């Protein structure tokens, strides 16, 4: 598994490196299998593939995308956001149709967030946010909005922007009304890809809800669970490992690298597999 990173971002979504720069950085790290998994877009894949062809050593680009989805418990009406990484699509046409819908939702949501911020911060930052993504509205993520709030001196750190204004429960939060979990997995499979539950411990969920999320992900036909990072408590990793074994799921590994604005996340820094776990990359064509 050394040299594999199946969860990375470029500046096509909320990363800081271009696809070319990301591929070059991956090669410098000794990575030989790289998935570019930008948020709700595959627009950078061809650029990454072209960049890989210029390298002196082989680097395989895996087609990927991180899809914003949602799920809920039957006993409640509350829905939760969840990210599903789609990997190695052989027939991406069905997925492209979904992503066009996701892009429209993303563009509308970013404008709504910026409008909600106006009375809170006393200014309209939407034009500044758009400038970060070459005025392509469907590329805006909450990270771009948070970075703009930092640059304007409204908050001192990106996380403070989330905590004060734009995370769930705050006044400028807008839910991403994406496709349901079961439908998301079905579309990925229709595209000939593999569905991976991304960073299962990063949704501010209780242990009970994490276990239930993995259970229904498996029930709906999900293929693999992304292993928690090494910084997570050992007990958390053990819980996820137990659920992976119970539901006979494969595992995926990814750094969730974004670039300069998240310097604590290093490209190629991935967790280790435990005995008996099977990597989803072993199933790639």
CA dihedral 102, 106, 8, 127 (to 10 degrees): 150
pLDDT at 161: 97
Each of the 285 residues of the chain gets a pLDDT tens digit; together they read 689 999 999 999 999 999 999 999 999 999 999 999 999 999 999 999 999 999 999 999 999 999 999 999 887 778 899 999 999 999 999 999 899 999 999 999 999 999 999 999 999 999 999 999 999 999 999 999 999 999 999 999 999 999 999 998 999 999 998 899 999 999 999 999 999 999 999 998 999 999 999 999 999 999 999 999 999 999 999 999 999 999 999 999 999 999 988 899 999 999 999 999 999 999 997
Enter the tokens of residue 178.
């994406």
Place of tokens 């009375």: 119
Q: What pTM was computed for the model?
A: 0.92
Q: Using alpha carbons, select from 196, 181, 183, 216 the residue that is nearest to residue 284.
A: 196
CA dist 255 and 118 (Å) reads 35
Residues 52 and 264: their CA atoms lie apart, in Å, by 25
**The token pair that represents 54 in the structure block:** 């210029």
The pLDDT value recorded for residue 271 is 95
Give the whole-angstrom CA distance, residue 30 versus residue 37.
19
């Amino acid at each position: 598994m050394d040299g594999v990173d199946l969860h990375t971002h470029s500046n096509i979504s909320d990363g800081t490196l271009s696809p070319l720069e990301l591929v070059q950085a991956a090669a410098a790290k000794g990575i030989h299998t790289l998935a570019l998994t930008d948020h709700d877009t595959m627009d950078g894949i061809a650029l990454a593939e072209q960049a890989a062809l210029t390298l002196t050593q082989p680097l395989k680009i895996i087609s990927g995308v991180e899809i914003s989805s949602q799920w809920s418990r039957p006993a409640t009406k509350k829905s939760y956001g969840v990210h599903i990484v789609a990997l190695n699509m052989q027939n991406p046409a069905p997925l492209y149709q979904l992503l066009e819908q996701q892009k429209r939702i993303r563009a509308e949501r970013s404008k709504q967030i910026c409008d909600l911020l106006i009375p809170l911060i006393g200014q309209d930052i939407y034009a500044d946010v758009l400038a970060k993504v070459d005025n392509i509205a469907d590329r805006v993520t909450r990270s771009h909005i948070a970075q703009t709030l930092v640059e304007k001196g409204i908050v001192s750190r990106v996380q403070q922007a989330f905590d004060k204004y734009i995370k769930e429960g705050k006044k400028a939060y807008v839910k991403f009304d994406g496709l349901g979990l079961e439908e998301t997995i079905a579309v990925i499979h229709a595209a000939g890809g593999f569905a991976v539950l991304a960073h299962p411990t990063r949704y501010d969920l209780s242990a009970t809800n994490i276990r239930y999320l993995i259970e229904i992900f498996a029930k709906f036909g999900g293929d693999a669970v992304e292993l928690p990072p090494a910084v997570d408590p050992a007990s958390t990793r053990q819980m996820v490992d137990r659920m992976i074994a119970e539901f006979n799921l494969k595992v995926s590994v990814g750094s969730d690298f974004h670039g300069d604005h998240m310097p604590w996340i290093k490209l190629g820094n991935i967790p280790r597999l435990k005995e008996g776990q099977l990597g989803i990359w072993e199933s790639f064509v």
